[in-house]
Structure 1
Amino acid sequence: MNKILIANRGEIALRIMRSAREMGIKTVAVYSEADRDALHVRYADEAVCIGPAASSQSYLVGEKIIEACKLTGAEAIHPGYGFLSENAAFARLVRDAGLILIGPSPEAMEIMGNKLSAKAAALKYNIPMVPGTEEAITDLPEAKLRAVEVGFPILIKAAAGGGGKGMRIVDKAEDFEEQMQLAVSEAKSAFGDGSVFIERYVSSPRHIEIQVLGDTHGNIVHLFERECSIQRRHQKVIEEAPSSVLTEEIRLRMGACAVDVARAVDYTGAGTVEFILDENLDFFFLEMNTRLQVEHPVTELITGLDLVKEQIRIARGEALSYGQSDLEIRGHAIELRVYAEDPENNFLPDIGLLQTYRTPKGNGVRVDDGFEQGMEIPIYYDPMIAKLITYGGDRAEAIERMIRAIDEYDITGIKTTLNFGKFVMQHPAFRTGSFDTHFVGNFFSSDSLKAEAEDEAMLAAIFAVQSFKKKTVAKTASATTPASGVWRKNRIKFNS
């Protein structure tokens, strides 16, 4: 494998290219017209424009990516995350073109891409499931009876869903039919598939995921867990590894279950098995993501592995060079997704010019980004600017480093999630590990940041007044000093 095309953009494209370069592999960037001057385009050995700004006309057109491979002689494609990374049809297109996809098989993607077929695969190994239906709902009265058996509140979920779309919480039987119709309608609109199922609603859930790696020789290991419970709109903002609540016994059981889920579909490459953890620390299978996760750096920091290099080695047919017993957790890592969003305005996306952009430095700080000062944040793509990751010998050190790094991160011209990240790091619920996926709803409001901003403004005003007073006193003292005294000082200075 001498040349890889990265079918993505921004920070993940750069991150993949850097690992490939360290392995002596040439890289090809693809880009839309909006990304013509992007950093990943400049960093790659070659770059091919694949269409207009809209992703539906560029990054999501598999045929254009295959054509770019043929044009440049790239032998393999790394899809990163998002875009076509979990698209089974694209994976087949790559295979049919005689190219290598750095990822799992189309068959594994297809099974795990649907929550119902994923549950069916996991049940082969008796993986714990949240009580509910194991098939798509076709009979409404029967589904309502099942919901009553499970017990309200229940959760209606889209089988093909993600990001909270096609999801409804139902508190009582009288609301079931209306919420079911809304969920089906939203699922059809978002995914072209109206299939939904029901689960018991876990009222205080934590989102725990296990990183797995599988090679083509039947070896599968897990790289421990990531805690992903700090979310907004059912999407992650802060992740950490390891979790602050798992016992070693639960960690071992969750890891074994994740390996079994991967084994159920003969999984190859890097993947993530997601679980929900309830208030009793009982865990249940949610789904599997068949790609590299946004939050993979925290796993890299606590294991010392480069997951992109591992993906490439697996795609080349190499066996894993270690077993489960060789792996251990070292230290603690936290990641903050730095989004171009306004936390004071319901996390609405923001666009504009990066007037100032200076990243933090120092021991235990890593920034994965794809922007530089003076660049525009485009409206066409995900609003993530960067991933800020800190590492420490323990969780407390990682938290303090994150606070320091946030303070040093200088971004002007747009709103970002940096101040939200600092709010979380300083909140008692986070520091003690007493939180769940409802953290934002339970603890955060726009007033939280406004109060902090007002406090900072007050301190700045006090400092300015004190500074002004000192200067005034100094000027007054200078004006009343006898001229001879000044002459003597100057003379002494001159003579010395």
Structure 2
Amino acid sequence: MSTPITTLLVANRGEIACRIMRTAKAMGIRTVAVHSEIDRHARHVREADMAINLGGAKPADSYLRTELILAAALTSGAQAIHPGYGFLSENADFARACESQGLIFIGPPASAIDAMGSKSAAKNLMEKAGVPLVPGYHGEDQSLECFRREVASMGYPVLLKAVAGGGGKGMKVVESDAELADALESAQREAQASFGDSRMLVERYLIKPRHIEIQVFADQHGHCIHLNERDCSIQRRHQKVIEEAPAPGLSPELREAMGDAAVKAAQAIGYVGAGTVEFLLDEQQRFYFMEMNTRLQVEHPVTEAITGQDLVAWQLSVAQGKPLPLEQAQVPLNGHAIEARLYAEDPSNGFLPASGRLALYREPADGPGRRMDSGVDQGDDVSPFYDPMLAKLIAWGETREAARLNLLGMLRETAIGGLQTNLSFLTGIIEHPAFADAQLDTGFIPRHETALIPDRPTLDDDFWALAGCSWLLSKRKTQPMPSPWQTLNSGWRSGLRAISRLHLRCGEQDRQLDVNITPDCQFDHTEQVLTVMQDGVTQRHPLLVTEQSVFLRWHGQWQQLEAFDPISEAEQAHHHSGGLQAPMNGSIVRLMVQVGDQVEAGSVLLVLEAMKMEHSIRAPHAGNITMLFCSEGDLVAEGAVLVELEESQ
């Protein structure tokens, strides 16, 4: 029986919430956004037909509050709830709660989520079905002693994984017995914080595997098909970074075998809707079941690109009782697509998540085979409380190389400023010869890390000379020059060259500049390009201007220029000698020291949680803990002094 949906509540945020709402609106469905207090001005809220404030900031106080989301659905008159991915998308209790309120849950039945929601239970199910598994332990005994015994029988290295996990959360590679206890404790804390379930499993860590996943889809009439595969091998700390479809180098026979296994897995649990069966593929082309994600995946756009289908529209249709629009033999496989995940994080500083205001955000130009799924706009604040993904860039081409070059062009046209991102890191991956040659496995990033994360470009005299010209020329258009009698910094001098004195800052560096603008340096406001002619050589530098800043592209990276008053800053400066500062906004989950403790260089002093991941703050040198400025559970801002460490004499 068909159940029409006229109003849809999207129980998620960011780019996926925007994506779902756009598809729903195209189908004539009214959309409702829910949001935390801190997200009240977010893009998904602005795009919804109706928005309801859940309050709070952390996910546990907002997007994970089942009772608040159900109340919002009933208040808004929604017939259905789409959970997106993450948060409540794989929560069987939430699916049952929706059903109990007469709401359609856009996802599989709760029984299917139960079957695959626990990685250990899923492995038991697949073992009975004859699907090959990686050697490991997924039992109920969660004691350190049990894990130690099981690991001893399979040998190191091993991989700890959250039973209810996903997205790399609660996952640790352990190289030796000496690391096991701390790694298990940390993984359990991450799993509890992200999924409300601290249970773990452990399996042998395969060397140089590929991560291949199969997109499956089933309707309420017993039909189930797969829509080809995706290669998600380019990962960092088990978090996918680059995905593509189809997987390079797979034979038709292997594709069919993996697709058949995935469909059988879905049918075995009475699956309905979109799901993904994930496998590890070793160097001998043997595949092993890893897990099933009972939801839409972040990387679904590459499957849409090679099949020409809208998987969100399929989800909404299937939820209304309609049959799948295609049979297995009708599923297309056209061309190649690659997706890059754009994150607010700092690759040169251990990929620490970044938060702050997007002072600059420019997306690449539209074009054939180009797609941008984003959840932010220029001026938006990026919160420390949620996953740091800003957007996804998806490129399609007739061949893999055509898709790669299309994506490379998109990355180079994207401009972001105000906080650190992985934009240059992504560009480095896509233009790397090994990626171009499809030399893919899960160790790609660690193996090429030196090339992918080069030293930050030196801000030398050439840069600062260009920065001074950039600032003056760009500001003359946006801020009319005052009379020379009204300012001491106009550069005007009777009978002499016009020299302007500037104080500019870029990142942690600043410089006093005396700038003389000549006809050899020109700024085209329409094209947003600075042209410099010197010694017969002409160079063009992209230059973008906002109210407060100027953004100059230098050696492939966007550099943010800001004016400052050195006298005023000197008067306001204060410094805590020997203080260790928070590298990002977050919460203190564990204090490892007390006042008076003697610590060695490299010792973990405390653990900071930000964007669902734990980060250890270590002692830069041996010394004595003289002050603590935080407690467990405290929320701290970036730059806040946490610990005062007096260096040993």
What TM-score comes out, normalization by structure 1 length?
0.87
The superposition leaves residues 211-263 of structure 1 with CA deviations (integer Å, 9 ceiling, x where unpaired) of 11011111111111111111112101111111113111111111111111111
Q: Which residue of 2 aligns with 1:129?
A: 133
Q: In the alignment, residue 408 of structure 1 is paired with which amino acid?
A: E
Name whichever of 35-44 and 139-148 sits farther off.
139-148
2:186: which partner in 1?
186
- Counterpart residue number, 2:415: 410
| Structure 1 residue 145 displacement after superposition | 6.3
- Runs of 4+ in structure 1 off by over 6 angstroms are 138-143, 451-455, 463-466
| Structure 2 unaligned regions, length at least 5 | 467-519, 522-530, 539-649
Which of 207, 214, 221 is 2:211 aligned to? Answer: 207
Preserved contact between residue 122 and residue 264 of structure 1 (Cα < 8 Å)? no
Q: Distance in 2 between matches of 1:142 and 1:298?
A: 41
Change (3 A) 1:76 1:127: same
Of 336-345 and 138-147, the range deviating more from structure 2: 138-147
Q: Which residue of 2 aligns with 1:395?
A: 400
The answer to whether residue 354 in structure 2 is matched with residue 288 in structure 1 is: no
State the Cα deviation string for residues 256-306 of structure 1 (Å, max 9, x = none): 111111112111110111111111121100001111111110110001110
**Partners in 2 of 1:17 and 1:194 — Cα distance?**
33
Give how far 1:321 is off. Answer: 2.0
Listed as ranges, the matches of 1:70-85 within 5 Å are 70-85=74-89
Tell me which of 223, 228, 231 is aligned to 1:224.
Answer: 228
Secondary structure of the corresponding residue to residue 533 of structure 2: helix
In 2, Cα distance between equivalents of 1:436 and 1:125: 27
Residues 144, 181 of structure 2: 8 Å contact kept: no
1:342: Cα distance to partner? 1.4
Q: Is residue 431 from structure 1 mapped to residue 436 from structure 2 by the alignment?
A: yes
Point out the structure with the larger strand share: 2
Partner of 2:480: none
- Structure 2 match to 1:467: 533
Query: How many angstroms apart in 2 are the aligned matches of 1:447 and 1:336?
Result: 15
What is aligned with 1:351? 355
In 1, Cα distance between the equivalents of 2:182 and 2:93?
29
| Residue 421 (str. 1) matches residue 487 (str. 2) | no
Q: Distance in 2 between matches of 1:454 and 1:223?
A: 48
SS in 2 for 1:449: coil
Q: Give runs of aligned pairs for residues 208-357 of structure 1, distance below 5 A.
A: 208-357=212-361
Q: Residues 364-414 of structure 1, C-alpha deviation per residue, up to 9 Å, x if partnerless? A: 111011111222222221111111111111100011011111111111212
Alignment of 1:480-491 (within 5 A): none
Secondary structure class of the residue paired with 1:221? strand
Is the alpha carbon distance of 1:435 and 1:332 closer, same or farther for their aligned partners in structure 2, counting shifts above 3 Å? same
Match for 1:4 among 8, 19, 23? 8
Higher relative contact order (CA 8 A, sep 6+): 1
> In the alignment, is the contact (CA less than 8 A) between 1:81 and 1:294 conserved in 2?
yes
Contact 2:429/2:452 (8 A) holds in 1: no
State the shift of 1:340 in Å.
Answer: 1.0
Q: Does the 8 Å contact 1:165/1:186 carry over to 2?
A: no
- Any idea what SS the aligned residue of 2:126 has? helix
Comparing 118-127 with 332-341, greater Cα deviation is found at 118-127
Counterpart of 2:371? Answer: 366
Shift in alpha-carbon separation, 1:282–1:98, aligned structure 2, 3 A:
same
The change in CA–CA distance for 1:96 and 1:204 in structure 2 (over 3 A counts) is same
The offset of 1:167, in angstroms, is 4.2
Would you say the 8 A contact 1:231–1:437 is kept in 2? Answer: yes
Counterpart residue type for residue 369 of structure 2: G
SS of the equivalent of 2:129 reads coil
SS in 1 for 2:189: helix
SS in 1 for 2:534: helix
Structure 1 138/233 Cα, relative in aligned 2: closer, same or farther at 3 Å? closer
Q: Show CA shifts across 1:113-153 (max 9, x none).
A: 11110012222321111123353456877866655554544
Residue in structure 2 matching 1:441, options 430, 441, 446: 446
> Does the aligned pair in 2 maintain the 1:185–1:194 contact within 8 Å?
no
Partner of residue 164 from structure 2, selected from 148, 160, 163: 160
> Against the structure 1 CA distance between its residues 256 and 278, is the aligned structure 2 distance closer, same or farther, given a 3 Å change threshold?
same
Superposed CA RMSD: 2.6
**8 Å Cα contact 1:334/1:391 also seen in 2:** yes
TM superposition shift of 1:98: 1.0
Change in 2 beyond 3 A, CA 1:377/1:147: closer
Partner SS state of residue 377, structure 2? coil
1:492 is matched with which residue? none
Change (3 A) 1:471 1:148: closer
More helix, by proportion: 1
Q: Displacement, 1:441?
A: 0.9
Pair 1:471–1:221, CA change in 2 (3 A): closer
Q: Which moved more, 1:190-199 or 1:407-416?
A: 190-199
Classify 1:471/1:432 alpha carbon distance in 2 versus 1 (closer, same or farther; 3 Å).
Answer: closer
Distance 1:342 1:147, change over 3 A: closer
Q: Matches of 2:361 and 2:312 in 1, distance apart?
A: 27
CA contact (8 A) 1:423 1:449 kept: no
Is the 1:166–1:183 contact (alpha carbons within 8 Å) kept by the matching residues of 2? no
Q: Which amino acid aligns with 2:409?
A: R
